[in-house]
Amino acid sequence: MSLTRHRAVTGVRWSLAAHGGRQAIQLAAMVALVRLLSPEAFGIMSMAMVLVGFSQVLQDLGTSAALVQRDRAAPALLSTVFWVNTMFGLALAGILVAGAPLVASFFDEAAVAPLLSVLSLVFVLSGAGTVHAALLQRKLGFRALARVELWATVAGAVTGVGSAAAGLGVWSLAVQALTTAGVSTGVLWWSCRWRPRLVFSWTELRSVGGYSLWLTGFRVVNHVARNMDYILIGKFLGATELGCYTLAYKLMLYPVQHVSAVVGRVMFPVYARWQDDHDRFRRAFVKVSAAIATVTFPAMVGLVAVRGDLVATLFGPDWAPVAPLILILAPIGMLQSLVTPLGGIYQATGRTGLFFAWGLGAAALMVLAFFVGIRWGLIGVAGAYAIAQLAAAWPCFRIPFGLIGLSMRRFVAALWPSLACSVAMGLVVTAVGLTITTELTPAISLSLQVAVGVAVYAVLSWRMNRQHVRDVLTVAVPTPGAAAT
């Protein structure tokens, strides 16, 4: 195994282990918070997070990715980027505090204003750690990054759930966010030996300006498009409906955030090293995408099959509207799990201008769909999201594939076994759910369906998709003698 491949596999392994731990902790925390808080509280937090999320997109102005993409980064550039990020974090915090009353007025929800003011501190805390995180990623130091993520997640979950149990209501979600940001930055500084100097160079900053600003432009339009549904639901349908939609959307995003995004983050610095070797780039990208599908496809199909019992067991009757939303959104989660890594192609090849142009067109389609769908309530918004995603699918893949000469036929052929096994598993689980006696509790019914689904998918995959299963196991299960040569 080559040194780069070994480091990539090790990086994916550590990152997935960390995200697996984070996922378990976050899921447990979310279930606890859902039990302790009302849908209205989650809706209010979602209103605030629309603006907080937008500010997070702007926070590092794309400079972190530029540091990772570069072969070498001068010490003056690192310090310059640190001071830019730190000062910009303070500026964003001030803008959030000043704009909080306007946001509260827009949503007609007074509780949003003080919540936003407190959440603004997230940018002060996290801005000081962006360069450290980029340096660890550039060096493929994902073991250290895994440690950062786990400590921050544990601390945030403990303080968030503890605050909710103490009766702080929606403020417990703010406590969770602030704790996570603060602990993350603290552990980053402890894990990375680099320290900023009192240096600022306009020349160095301009050298990454074009790359970074186009990437930031994409992130801005993408964030606006992906949060327009939250804005419209919060404005026209209310906090309770937004809370239900948020929960369904988060369930759909779990495989995207905890598989695709993790693998994409690890592979970005690897792809950057291979940006001029398209054959190697293509082979790696197809192999990685097939491995992602092997995990995310059955997760989303299974989520559709057990949606009713899952919502009843984990969240309770107040969250019943989530089940039909899962039926619409989960299949799109399969598509999203493959779309997320595409950004690595644009970034590794330095084509962030093209990335922005595509994002602008896709965002316009998404926003238009949400404005049409809001007329039919939550189901209309979810349906509009699904239709827009499907309509944009072909160019979404075809444009970046053209940068590295990858054919759609080769890509689809690699994914087909995972799709077939997942659909077959979903049909079996659905049949089991329909035949199970109604005397069983939702929890027991859910357990039986999950057990059957895992067994069926494992058998089918081993017969029809063995190589990709082995690729996943290579990452998940370390083997003796796998060291780099």
Q: Characterize 15-48 residue by residue with b for buried, 16 or more Cβ atoms within 10 angstroms of its Cβ, and e for exposed.
A: bbbbbbebbebbbebbebbbebbebbbbbbbbbb
- Give 4's pLDDT tier (boundaries 50, 70, 90): low
Write out pLDDT tens, residues 427-452: 999 999 888 866 788 899 999 999 99
Tell me whether residue 91 is in a domain.
Answer: yes
Nearest Cα to Cα of residue 68 among 188, 212, 222, 201: 212
**What domain range includes position 194?**
1-207
- Name the range with the highest mean pLDDT among 113-122, 210-219, 325-334: 325-334
- pLDDT of 484 higher than 80: no
- The better pLDDT of the pair 256, 303 is held by 303
Sequence-separated (6 or more) residues with CB below 8 Å from residue 290: 414, 415, 418, 468, 471
Please give the torsion angle defined by the CA atoms of residues 347, 278, 73 and 339, in that order, rounded to the nearest 10 degrees: 20
- The better pLDDT of the pair 443, 24 is held by 443
Contact 43, 239 (CB under 8 A): yes
Write out pLDDT tens, residues 239-282: 888 888 988 888 888 777 667 877 877 787 778 878 788 999 99
Res 478: pLDDT: 52
- Give 7's pLDDT tier (boundaries 50, 70, 90): low
Mean pLDDT across the stretch 413-417? 94
Res 2: pLDDT: 53
Tell me whether residue 189 is in a domain.
Answer: yes
Average pLDDT, the chain: 84
Write out pLDDT tens, residues 159-190: 988 988 888 877 888 888 889 889 988 988 89
Structure-block tokens of residue 290: 């097939």
Nearest Cα to Cα of residue 121 among 99, 98, 90, 161: 90
- pLDDT of 390 higher than 70: yes
- The better pLDDT of the pair 149, 329 is held by 329
Q: How far is Cα 252 from Cα 212, in angstroms, rounded to an integer?
A: 29
Q: How far is Cα 62 from Cα 134, in angstroms, rounded to an integer?
A: 11
Tell me whether residue 435 is in a domain.
Answer: no
Q: How far is Cα 414 from Cα 409, in angstroms, rounded to an integer?
A: 9
Tell me whether residue 109 is in a domain.
Answer: yes
- The better pLDDT of the pair 210, 116 is held by 116
Tell me whether residue 310 is in a domain.
Answer: no
Tell me whether residue 273 is in a domain.
Answer: no
- Give 103's pLDDT tier (boundaries 50, 70, 90): confident
Contact 309, 446 (CB under 8 A): yes
Tell me whether residue 92 is in a domain.
Answer: yes
With 0-12 / 13-18 / 19 or more C-beta atoms within 10 angstroms meaning exposed / middle / buried, residue 226 is: middle
Q: Characterize 133-155 residue by residue with b for buried, 16 or more Cβ atoms within 10 angstroms of its Cβ, and e for exposed.
A: bbbbbbebbbbbbbbbbbbbbbb
Res 13: pLDDT: 65
Q: Which amino acid is at 342?
A: L
Mean pLDDT across the stretch 304-323? 90
The proportion of the chain whose per-residue pLDDT surpasses 90, expressed as a percent, equals 33
Sequence-separated (6 or more) residues with CB below 8 Å from residue 415: 289, 290, 293, 297, 338
Res 455: pLDDT: 96
Write out pLDDT tens, residues 35-73: 787 777 877 877 777 677 666 666 666 777 777 776 677
Tell me whether residue 400 is in a domain.
Answer: no
Res 19: pLDDT: 64
Number of structural domains the chain divides into: 1
